[in-house]
Amino acid sequence: MKVIPRDQHCISRKNISDGALKVMSRLRQADHEAYLVGGAVRDLLLGGHPKDFDIATDATPEEVHALFRGSRIIGRRFRIVHVRMGREIIEVTTFRGHHDGEPSTRASKVKGPSHRSEQGLLLRDNVFGTLEEDAVRRDLTVNALYYDAANFAVYDHVHGMQDMERRSVCIIGDPDERFREDPVRMLRVARFAAKLEFDIDEDTAAAIPRCAHLLREIPSARLFDEFLKLFMSGYAERTFDELLEHNLLAYLFPDSDYELRRNSVAMALVRAAMRSTDIRIQAGKTVTPAFLLAALLWPVTERLAEQLRERGDAPVAAMHSAGQQIVAGAVTTIAIPRRFSLPMREIWEFQLRLQRGDSRKARELLQNRRFRAAYDFLLLREEAGEETGDVGGFWTEFQERPENQNLPMIDSPSDSAEDGGGRGRRRRPRKRRPTSP
Ligand code: ATP
Ligand code: MG
């Protein structure tokens, strides 16, 4: 284990939250080890501001829980303790140990075996261990650095510091084995490469094509959770590139992946939606997955709707049932909750109404709660080079007419603070101005 003393790294206690410092100091007072770990250490070393502070300790979840009033033990696959400190929630994790009968050097704390499926998938992981054992169970070397707030040292058991310096995303241990244990780690590799703007280590990257098919075993709900982290964190466009490069998008959206690789307009639309999501997050505006999902699934929905129209369905009916079928197909892979799939389908169905350009109905459409999102989506389609009859300009101009300035506008999904949102202020509708009665 390498110990990096305080004068050889840039972490300062000043940048660590009071809550995290308090939790660590109380654990130490109770004769436990306690370290800042994972993303927080990584982001502090990169000079960033961690969004949360995770702590690793040798205390069991029960011991942690007993030390902190207002703490809760949560999780099944990994049991962790949430400690409330004022407005902060600090996540405290007990060191994890080895599996499969490898002897832990902490035999007294072993609380039952871990479980694997026949394919080597890790099902349960509550064997406790030491810091060294905990380090090698983590996913990436740069996510396995430990900071001791008592002596200001960083502990490195897996060449994490070296990989920070060479800006490399590198799996700890044998990549094939670690991907087999948990295939989602492949998505995490892509995500951190995009987030940190690091390169993927050669051996790590080489294992992805061998293991990618294992992502089919991942429950659809976990894939949707991962989708939110991949695309709603402010670096969606770079993440998208990584997923495409490593052929991983196909395990989230198989039909879209197929279509996007053949259809440059569809590709441009998805990129534009990703970019606009990233820009909104940077600006502190709220975002919703519904909009991004609308872009990702639009090309396949449009294609199906076209087939239905050729079969004789009316345009509105065709779009409606295409939307229904595409969602039904997509959720077998990735569990899109209805609170996102419904607004997504409304955005699609609204496209036809916008494209009809019926000016008698225009004022009514303007007041619809989906207008803003549908209009934004229309502009992205035009930007991507889709043929819409250029109606975007009509709607831009129509909204600016004085008689439309004081209409009650419009709760678009790109303004709602559902999951993946909640980043700061509500956006004010762009075109609305204060009016005097
Ligand atoms: P972010 O800033 O995006 O939250 P993070 O590094 O904190 O990044 P989390 O998903 O919050 O990422 O996970 C916390 C830590 O838990 C990681 O740094 C890593 O050490 C460990 N970890 C998370 N997921 C896995 C996994 N699937 N396999 C092994 N270790 C994992
Ligand atoms: Mg985290």
Query: Would residue 313 show up in a list of annotated catalytic residues for this protein?
Result: no
| pLDDT winner (highest mean) among 44-48, 195-199, 383-387 | 195-199
User: Which of these ranges, 31-45, 242-256, 300-314, 364-378, has the smallest mean pLDDT?
Assistant: 364-378
Q: Do 254-419 and 1-166 fall under one CATH topology? A: no
Ligand that lies nearest to the alpha carbon of residue 138, given by its number in the listed order: 1
Whether the per-residue pLDDT at 395 is higher than 60: the answer is: yes
Whether the per-residue pLDDT at 66 is higher than 90: the answer is: yes
Pairing of strands 54-57, 34-37: antiparallel
Amino acid 410: pLDDT: 44
Residue in 43, 54, 134, 278 annotated catalytic: 54
**pTM, two decimal places:** 0.87
Query: Would residue 139 show up in a list of annotated catalytic residues for this protein?
Result: yes
**Banded model confidence at residue 357, pLDDT cuts 50, 70, 90:** low
Amino acid 161: pLDDT: 97
Amino acid 398: pLDDT: 81
Strand (E) positions, 109-193?
115-116, 122-124, 145-148, 153-156, 168-169
Query: In angstroms, rounded to a whole number, what is the distance separating the alpha carbons of residues 374 and 349?
Result: 9
Pairing of strands 168-169, 153-156: unpaired
Q: State whether residue 376 is helix, strand or coil.
A: helix
For a ligand 1 pocket test, name from 89, 143, 156, 174 the mutation site with the most ligand atoms within 8 angstroms of its C-beta.
Answer: 143
Which position has the higher pLDDT, 397 or 377? 377
Query: Ligand 2 centroid to 52 CA: how many Å?
Result: 6
| Topology classification of domain 1-166 | Beta Polymerase; domain 2 (3.30.460)
Residue in 43, 58, 139, 201 annotated catalytic: 139
Share in percent of the chain as helix, strand, coil (round to 5): 50, 10, 35
Amino acid 429: pLDDT: 45
| Average pLDDT taken over every residue of the chain | 88
Query: Ligand 2 centroid to 210 CA: how many Å?
Result: 28
Return the half-sphere exposure (C-beta side, CA atoms, 13 A cut-off) of residue 285: 16
Q: What percent of the chain has pLDDT over 90?
A: 73
Whether the per-residue pLDDT at 293 is higher than 90: the answer is: yes
Question: Which pair of tokens denotes residue 291?
Answer: 């909009």
Going from N- to C-terminal start, the domains of the chain cover 1-166, 254-419
Report which protein residue has its CA nearest ligand 1's atom 7.
39
User: Which of these ranges, 39-48, 222-231, 312-321, 362-371, has the smallest mean pLDDT?
Assistant: 362-371
**pLDDT digits 0-9 by tens, 109-133:** 444 445 556 555 655 556 788 999 9
Contact 412, 371 (CB under 8 A): yes
Cβ of residue 138 lying under 6 Å from some atom of ligand 1: yes
Amino acid 226: pLDDT: 98
Query: Ligand 2 centroid to 134 CA: how many Å?
Result: 16
Whether the per-residue pLDDT at 139 is higher than 60: the answer is: yes
Cβ of residue 384 lying under 6 Å from some atom of ligand 1: no
**Banded model confidence at residue 414, pLDDT cuts 50, 70, 90:** very low
Rounded to an integer, the average pLDDT of 66-77 is 91
Rounded to an integer, the average pLDDT of 97-113 is 50
The torsion of the CA quartet 33, 182, 291, 342, rounded to 10 degrees, works out to: -110
Beta partners for 124?
115
Amino acid 421: pLDDT: 38
Cβ within 8 Å of residue 396, ≥6 positions away = none
CATH among 3.40.50.720, 1.10.3090.10, 1.20.1560.10, 3.40.50.360 for 254-419: 1.10.3090.10
Amino acid 126: pLDDT: 60
User: Which of these ranges, 32-41, 282-291, 371-380, 391-400, has the smallest mean pLDDT?
Assistant: 391-400
Query: Would residue 125 show up in a list of annotated catalytic residues for this protein?
Result: no
